[in-house]
Every structure is written in C-alpha cells, then in structure tokens.
Chain A
Amino acid sequence: NAGVTQTPKFQVLKTGQSMTLQCAQDMNHEYMSWYRQDPGMGLRLIHYSVGAGITDQGEVPNGYNVSRSTTEDFPLRLLSAAPSQTSVYFCASSYGRMNSGNTIYFGEGSWLTVV
C-alpha cells in the first residue's frame, strides 16, 4: 500500500475512553477517508475529506470526529468508545474523485477493541 500510514496498528480501550487514530499520506492526495470493517463484512465509510479544512460524513459517522488541518494528515477521533466500535479501521486516500478514474489507496488498518 503506497504511502498511507496508520497508527496505532492495535489498540485496546475501555468503554468511555477516548482516543485518536492517526492517518498520514505522502502522495499529496486531496481526498482522504476513514472506513471501518466489522467481522465478515465489507468496509463502510465513516468520514471523508476533499481537502484541507473540509470534511463530511459518510455512512456511519456517529461516535467519531475528524479534522483536516493539513493535506497530509486525517486523524479519526473516538469521543467515548463503545463496544460497538470494536472493528478494523482503514484510512484511504486518492488524488481526486473516483468518478474521475482516480485510484484510492488504503492503509494497512488499525485493530481496535473496546472492552
């Protein structure tokens, strides 16, 4: 996976704790997004950003916040972790919109368990 870096790779949280998943890309991509994948299911879009200072909600935004202060970074914040947020989280980036034929690249994932 070219240039999308996620940290941490594994994290265990207690219910009610907050944390931030970090995502950085070095490809000068305008589009960045966060997906979650629950066991045996496909990825679902949480939030996305079309450029620095611009963010929007995806399919499953509740319980998550994002910000985009730089082109390179797109952190995902869990405000008050719940067991339902136990999942694998993937960050992705692309040069532009995918209906223009741009390729989206994914990070390796962050495994989050909320107990």
Chain B
Amino acid sequence: DAKTTQPPSMDCAEGRAANLPCNHSTISGNEYVYWYRQIHSQGPQYIIHGLKNNETNEMASLIITEDRKSSTLILPHATLRDTAVYYCIVPNNAGNMLTFGGGTRLMVKP
C-alpha cells in the first residue's frame, strides 16, 4: 500500500492560491490519489481525486506529476472557510480502506 507524506502546516493569505503538496513516491500505476479536508471535527469532506491526468472541479484543481510520485492540490482563491486539515490519501490495494495520516493544517489568514 502506498504511503503519503505532507507538510504538517501551511499558511495562505486570503484570496491567494493555496498550493498543498503531497509525496506518494511508492504509488503504483493503477492507484488513485484522493484529497479530503476536515474542518474542526466535522466529517471529512471529499475534494477531488485523480489517477494520471490533472483534474479540476468547482472546489479545487489536482496536479499530478508525470511520474505520479507527487501531486499538488490547488485552491485557487482561498477563503477563511478553507482553513482546515487537508489529507492526501492513496487507498489500500484492496480499495476498501482510506488511511488518514497527519495531513496538512492550512491556515488562511486575512
């Protein structure tokens, strides 16, 4: 099962883009990368996921490197409500479990 590594914390100015990196150097060719966030102790909120191509939805963009060893979640115009812990996750090989590591605590500041 692939492991992920994220910086423990990041700051971002309100209105600027927040770029959250994730390293998943042991990922295999058919494993997806998922991003979730958790605000306080609410239920994890799905943001985006991808396999090989870059992905964009109404919340964020996901940039995956060509070798798939790392990815970056981009929140294009961060707001104070984006302050949360962001998790980069690669499901286990069986596809039945998400392993939540420490995540990145993003603080959006005025």
Contact = CB atoms under 8 A, between A and B. Distances in A.
B partners with A: yes
Interface of A: 1, 4, 31, 33, 37, 42-45, 48, 50, 56, 58-59, 88, 90, 96-101, 103-109, 111
B10 to A, nearest CB: 17
Interface of B: 30-32, 34, 41-46, 49, 51, 87, 91-103
B6 to A, nearest CB: 11
B95 A104 contact: no
Nearest to B93: A99
B52 to A, nearest CB: 11
Given A42-B101, A43-B100, A101-B32, A106 B95 contact: no
The secondary structure that dominates the B interface is loop
Contacts, number: 69
15 contacts: A1-B43, A42-B100, A44-B100, A50-B96, A59-B97, A90-B43, A97-B94, A97-B95, A98-B95, A99-B31, A99-B91, A104-B98, A105-B46, A106-B44, A111-B41
B97 A45 contact: yes
Contact of B43 (A44, A45, A59, A108): A108
Contacts of B91: 97-99
**Which of B41, B44, B92, B100 has the most A CB atoms < 10 Å from its CB?**
B44
A3 to B, nearest CB: 12
